[in-house]
């Protein structure tokens, strides 16, 4: 299958899964899940749906369990959307990139606060040193 078609299928799957999770899933465990990206193999055998959620480890585990239970429903919804001969098997994977970016931003914020609070930080000397 050509790359453009795979990209289009990935986009369709991402939109359909996001809509199903946001508006149609009636599971009380479902939090504010964001579908970050979708990867489909060239033969449409399998599909990895990457997701993220704001919150702690408990919320992540709770939503991970919910997504595993919702996978057959999500696969049926994908089948209705794609209209292809085969429907990929759905696997959900937590996207570490978003959590990593949030963690990095918090570290940078802490460093900025420390730099502003330190009395020996002279802005003119920092410019002279090339910082």
Q: How far is CA 73 from CA 10, 25, 26, 57, 98, in A?
A: 18, 9, 11, 25, 26
The pLDDT of 54-59, averaged and rounded, is 83
High-pLDDT (> 90) share of the chain, %: 44
pLDDT tens string 16-53 = 999 998 888 877 777 788 899 999 998 889 999 999 98
**What's the pLDDT score for residue 25?**
82
The CATH code that applies to domain 3-95 is 3.30.300.20
- Residue 131: pLDDT band by 50, 70, 90 thresholds? low
Q: Which two tokens stand for residue 81?
A: 């959307």
Residue 78 near residue 16, CB atoms below 8 Å: yes
Enumerate the domain spans of the chain.
3-95
- What is the edge-to-edge ordering of all strands in the sheet holding 46-53? 33-40, 46-53, 89-94
CB 69 within 8 A of CB 52: no
């Amino acid at each position: 299958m050509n790359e453009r078609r795979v990209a289009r299928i990935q986009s369709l799957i991402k939109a359909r899964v996001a809509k199903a999770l946001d508006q149609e899933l009636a599971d009380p465990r479902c939090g504010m899940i964001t579908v970050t990206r979708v990867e489909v193999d060239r033969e449409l055998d399998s599909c990895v749906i990457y997701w993220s959620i704001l919150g702690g480890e408990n919320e992540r585990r709770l939503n991970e369990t919910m997504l595993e239970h919702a996978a057959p429903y999500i696969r049926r919804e994908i089948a209705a959307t794609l209209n292809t001969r085969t429907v990929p098997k759905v696997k959900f994977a937590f996207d570490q990139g978003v959590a990593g970016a949030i963690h990095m931003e918090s570290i940078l914020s802490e460093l900025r606060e420390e730099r502003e609070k330190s009395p020996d930080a002279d802005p003119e000397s920092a410019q002279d040193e090339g910082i």
